[in-house]
């Protein structure tokens, strides 16, 4: 009898161990979003719902920041006329240069990697400012993936909006004094499914 009980106990322990390992390997929504996130540059014409854009921005400002100063400002543009106007102004300013050539592909729609909406982020200069807004961007991109949306990080807007022809559009973003444009995120419903690019895991090392 004792042997039977012992055998049953061992079986239960083994099954419990297998269950615990299996449970620990299950991916949460966050882990799935991390693996699924891609830089998307082709979007459907379907506009992103206002409520979803608002939700993404709220996810962004839930990010950590140094000493919780939250020194960032988020501006959301969903107005197609604004996006098309900024595109026309920039292309006219750089007409005939290499800056324009790389954009004008057969699938080109706008200078914001064809996104149907754009989220702009501004922040002042300062210690950890870049780290803070970087955390904000990652929150937004992962939340967007969870919602079935695509995003593309656009650091290039710093150079684009430095063009005098873009002054009107930069001013319309209404960043506070001392804040400057750091990046933008193109947002939209994906019209492509890019493959994941290889990651160099040799960059990871444990220090003993």
pLDDT tens readout for residues 163-173: 999 999 999 99
**Residue 29 included in any domain:** no
Rounded Cα gap, residues 116 and 185, in angstroms: 11
**Residue 184 included in any domain:** yes
DSSP-H helix ranges across the chain = 2-25, 29-36, 50-61, 80-93, 98-101, 129-146, 157-160, 167-172
pLDDT, tens digit (0-9, with 9 covering 90-100), for 176-194: 999 999 999 999 999 999 9
**Residue 193 included in any domain:** no
Q: For residue 124, what are the CA distances in angstroms to 71, 107, 157, 171?
A: 7, 35, 16, 16
**Residue 14 included in any domain:** no
pLDDT at position 36: 87
On average, the pLDDT of the chain sits at 88
Q: For residue 72, what are the CA distances in angstroms to 65, 77, 183, 208?
A: 9, 17, 11, 37
3-state secondary structure of 138: helix
pLDDT at position 103: 75
**Residue 142 included in any domain:** yes
CA angle, 179 then 129 then 41, to 5°: 80
* Host domain of residue 49: 34-188
Q: Does the pLDDT at position 5 exceed 90?
A: no
Q: Does the pLDDT at position 17 exceed 90?
A: no
pLDDT, tens digit (0-9, with 9 covering 90-100), for 36-72: 899 999 999 999 999 999 999 999 999 999 999 999 9
Burial of 48 (0-12, 13-18, 19+ CB in 10 A): buried
pLDDT confidence tier of residue 104, bands split at 50, 70 and 90: confident
- Looking at the structure of the chain, the number of domains it has is 1
The pTM of this model reads: 0.85
Q: What is the CATH number of the domain that holds 80?
A: 3.40.109.10
**Residue 200 included in any domain:** no
Q: By percentage, how much of the chain surpasses pLDDT 70?
A: 87
Q: Residue range 155-160: average pLDDT?
A: 96
**Residue 208 included in any domain:** no
Q: Does the pLDDT at position 99 exceed 90?
A: no
**Residue 158 included in any domain:** yes
8 A C-beta contact, residue 126 and residue 70: no
């Amino acid at each position: 009898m004792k042997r039977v009980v012992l055998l049953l106990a061992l079986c239960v322990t083994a099954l419990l161990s297998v269950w615990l390992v299996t449970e620990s390997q299950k991916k949460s929504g966050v882990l799935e979003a991390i693996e699924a996130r891609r830089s998307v540059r082709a979007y459907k014409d379907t506009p992103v719902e206002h409520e979803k854009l608002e939700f993404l921005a709220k996810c962004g400002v839930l990010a950590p920041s140094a000493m919780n100063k939250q020194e960032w400002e988020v501006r959301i543009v969903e107005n197609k006329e604004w996006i098309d106007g900024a595109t026309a102004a920039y292309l006219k300013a750089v007409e005939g240069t290499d800056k324009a050539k790389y954009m004008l592909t057969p699938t080109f729609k706008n200078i914001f990697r064809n996104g149907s909406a754009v989220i702009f982020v501004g922040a002042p200069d300062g210690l950890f400012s870049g780290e803070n807004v970087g955390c904000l961007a990652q929150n937004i991109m992962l939340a967007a993936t969870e919602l079935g949306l695509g995003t593309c990080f656009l650091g290039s807007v710093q150079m684009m909006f430095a063009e005098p022809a873009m002054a009107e559009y930069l001013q319309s973003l209404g960043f506070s004094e001392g804040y400057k444009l750091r990046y933008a995120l193109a947002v939209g419903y994906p019209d492509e499914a890019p493959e994941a690019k290889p990651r160099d895991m040799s960059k990871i090392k444990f220090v003993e």
